Amino acid sequence: MTSAEGVKGMEAAKLAEYVLGRKKLFILDVRNNENYADWRIEGAGIATVNLPYFELLDDIEPAVKLIPHGEPVLVVCAKEGSSVFVAEQLTEAGVPDVSYLIGGMKAWSEHMEPVKAGDLKGGGELYQFVRPGKGCLSYMIISGGEAVVVDAMRMTERYLAFAAEKGAVIRHAIDTHLHADHLSGGRRLAEQTGADYWLPPKDAEEVGFAFRSLDEGAEIAVGCTAIALAAIYSPGHTIGSTTLLIDGTYLLTGDILFVSSIGRPDLAGNAESWADDLRETLFTRYKGLPQELLVLPAHYGKVGELGERGLVAAELGELFRRNAGLAVADEAAFRRAVTGDLPPQPHAYQSIRLANMGKLNPTVEEQREMEIGPNRCSIHD
């Protein structure tokens, strides 16, 4: 795509191909240093440098000197405007293959890419929707012309289009817990499709809308092959956090267990009281499950967690061997780890929780601003 100014624009979907496909790309990020340090585009094939826009207004040469020979160059800013100017200057300076990110980091934050996680035993498929700009993961289970969406993002049109592409009707939308790092699209998706919206009751005591109760032991059938989604109560990140066991094979752990870390218990101000719940979930409930189950979390925090094709997954037994959060079995040490020196809390997390309760109704632009930045749902950066 070429802009009116004559420089190329790159869509977020194309950038996702570089990130998930581990292809080489040089990124010149022209946001201010603070924003860059807090949150930036990362990938196995991505090299990135930060030169603020205002430093390049009078002289583009400092940027030209940093650009490697023979690699595509992408200029990135918050919303697009500054990156267009810098991309023009680089092109005029003779740098080949320069693009700017269309929509800037806001567009990158919203992009989702479906990655197939596996086939279901009786027919059907399971897809993981990777949101690389925030490290968020959501899921769609498809069977017999019906679909279930788990931990949906607010960009519900992506799920609607994908389900239509697969010839499926969305019958259920499920949130594994009351989210604090991103705005849930579950309720909106249910309203758009007539689907049932499920939420753990202990997380929903203050919500202002109707929902179906995601209780432990609940089973939700999907399609003619009756793929069962069994609910397992697993508190710790929130008091209502619930894990989904799908097809006896896949374990959707929400924000309780990640590939490289574990969930944090402090986002509702209850770190001390929820630390014991978290430990019980991990070292008793999860330890007692079949260790060959494939863990599919609701977030990832590091580029290294992206596997083949971008899939974020690992066997439960493998995580008990190598996950840093699961290495702290001692009760006192565990409590210190999950209540002590934690990373910064997610941006606007208190407002996000209220919005997910139905107590705030932010505009589309306000929603974008609320979600800017990394997810920060684990106890490790």
pLDDT tens-digit series, residues 238-264: 999 999 999 999 999 999 999 999 999
Kindly report the average pLDDT of the chain as a whole number. 93
From residue 83, alpha-carbon distances to 38, 58, 90 in Å are 19, 15, 10
- Amino acid identity of residue 296, one-letter, is L
Q: Residue 293's closest CA among 346, 252, 340?
A: 252
pLDDT beyond 80 at 5: no
CA distance 162 to 126: 12
3-state helix, strand, coil in the chain (%, to 5): 30, 25, 45
| Residue 3's pLDDT band (cuts 50, 70, 90) | very low
CA distance 38 to 25: 21
List, in order of start, the domains of the chain with CATH numbers. 8-108 (3.40.250.10), 112-371 (3.60.15.10)
| Residue 225's pLDDT band (cuts 50, 70, 90) | low
Q: What is the mean pLDDT of residues 210-214?
A: 96
Report whether 329 contacts 278 (CB < 8 A). no
- Amino acid identity of residue 365, one-letter, is E
Q: What is the mean pLDDT of residues 127-149?
A: 96
pLDDT at 226: 67
Percentage of the chain modeled with pLDDT above 70: 98
Tokens at residue 323, please?
């996950």
pLDDT beyond 80 at 306: yes
Cβ neighbors of 95 (< 8 A, separation 6 or more) are 64, 67, 73
The stretches of the chain forming alpha helices (DSSP H) are 12-20, 33-38, 61-66, 81-92, 104-110, 156-165, 186-193, 271-280, 316-322, 331-339, 349-356, 364-371
pLDDT at 4: 40
Q: What is the mean pLDDT of residues 115-138?
A: 95
Going 323 to 324 to 327 to 329, the CA torsion angle's sign is negative
φ, ψ of residue 131 in degrees (nearest 5): -110, 85
Q: What is the mean pLDDT of residues 87-96?
A: 95
CA distance 212 to 325: 32
pLDDT at 217: 92
Residues catalogued as catalytic: 77
Task: Among 5-19, 196-210, 332-346, name the one with the lowest average pLDDT.
Answer: 332-346
Q: What is the pTM of this model?
A: 0.94
Report whether 74 contacts 120 (CB < 8 A). no
pLDDT beyond 50 at 2: no
pLDDT beyond 70 at 287: yes
pLDDT beyond 90 at 342: no
Q: What is the mean pLDDT of residues 35-64?
A: 95
pLDDT at 301: 87
